[in-house]
Amino acid sequence: MRKIWWKILCVVIIFYVIIMGFIGPVPRLAIINESIRNTYFHVALWLAMTTLLLLSMVFSVRYLMKGSIKDDDIASEVAKAAIFFGILGCLTGSVWANYTWGDPWPNDPKLNGAAVGILIYLAYLLLRSSFEDEQRRARISSVYNIFAFAVFIPIIYILPRLTDSLHPGSGGNSTFGSYDFDNNIRRVFYPAVIGYILLGLWIAELRIRIKQINRVREEALIESGKI
């Protein structure tokens, strides 16, 4: 039971977010209107993605320090879960942009930066698939992962604030918290971020187990002379 309590918590939180996300009270705002509910999905997904990418980077550092292939497994699978959330974040953001700004993908620095960030991490997955030797793949991709995160953060969170952007908190625009991030939003938003992080870890854990099972099976076949 100790090992599954956080998974039960994840399921409860996700259901809570979905239900409250659609029927819970939200502030009545001009232009944004009911689309403010997408905060629980678009914004929360991106924050969860960033947290998972940070965790992935930490385990890449751990691999370079200790050389344990398990650390590389964790880094790669957590990164994959984060990329999945990033793609979902882009899709939900496009829907929101279409209703709010009249264009699913306007020429906005943060949107363009998001696309570049996703491409950077897709290149990470492509890089990993380019090597057959496990240790070499882990070593080179770990270095790439560290630099990818160092580039990703400025592209997504710093550069858009230095120029004109449609997003809140950028280009002189007010942040969410200064005009519409009320307690009704907070009661769902913060659990949403936690729930998505737990879900990402759950997905990564399952994929890590599959990878480890396949590795043990392959080693057994090699020892038996079948490969």
* CA torsion, ordered 25, 26, 28, 31, to nearest 10 deg: -140
Under the banding of pLDDT at 50, 70 and 90, the label for residue 27 is confident
pLDDT at 226 over 70: no
Check residue 102 and give left, alpha or beta (phi > 0: left; psi -120 to 50: alpha). Answer: left
Q: Could you give phi then psi for residue 132, rounded to 5 degrees? A: -90, -35
Residue for token pair 């409860």:
12
pTM for the model: 0.89
Q: In angstroms, rounded to a whole number, what is the distance separating the alpha carbons of residues 120 and 161? A: 21
Cβ-based neighbours of 156, under 8 Å, separated by 6 or more:
46, 50, 110, 113, 114, 117
State pLDDT tens for residues 39-52: 999 999 999 999 99
State pLDDT tens for residues 201-219: 999 999 999 998 988 887 7
Among residues 111, 114, 116, the alpha carbon closest in space to that of 86 is found at 114
Q: In angstroms, rounded to a whole number, what is the distance separating the alpha carbons of residues 142 and 73? A: 10
Under the banding of pLDDT at 50, 70 and 90, the label for residue 70 is very high
Q: In angstroms, rounded to a whole number, what is the distance separating the alpha carbons of residues 18 and 41? A: 9
Maximum Cα interatomic distance, the chain, rounded to a whole number of Å: 70
Query: What's the mean pLDDT in 71-91?
Result: 96
Encoding tokens for residue 212?
């480890």
Residue that wins the pLDDT comparison between 71 and 32: 71
Q: Which amino acid is at 13?
A: I
State pLDDT tens for residues 159-212: 877 777 666 655 544 455 544 567 888 999 999 999 999 999 999 999 999 998
* CA torsion, ordered 28, 43, 23, 11, to nearest 10 deg: -160
Helices (H) then strands (E): counts for the chain: 7, 0
pLDDT at 6 over 90: yes
Q: ∠68-74-79 over CA atoms, to 5°?
A: 135
State residue 216's pLDDT score: 84
Helix (H) or strand (E) holding 135: helix 134-153
Query: What's the mean pLDDT in 65-94?
Result: 95
Under the banding of pLDDT at 50, 70 and 90, the label for residue 1 is very low
Mean pLDDT (the chain) is 87
Under the banding of pLDDT at 50, 70 and 90, the label for residue 26 is confident
Encoding tokens for residue 209?
């187990």
Q: How crowded is the C-beta side of 78, counted as CA atoms within 13 Å? A: 24
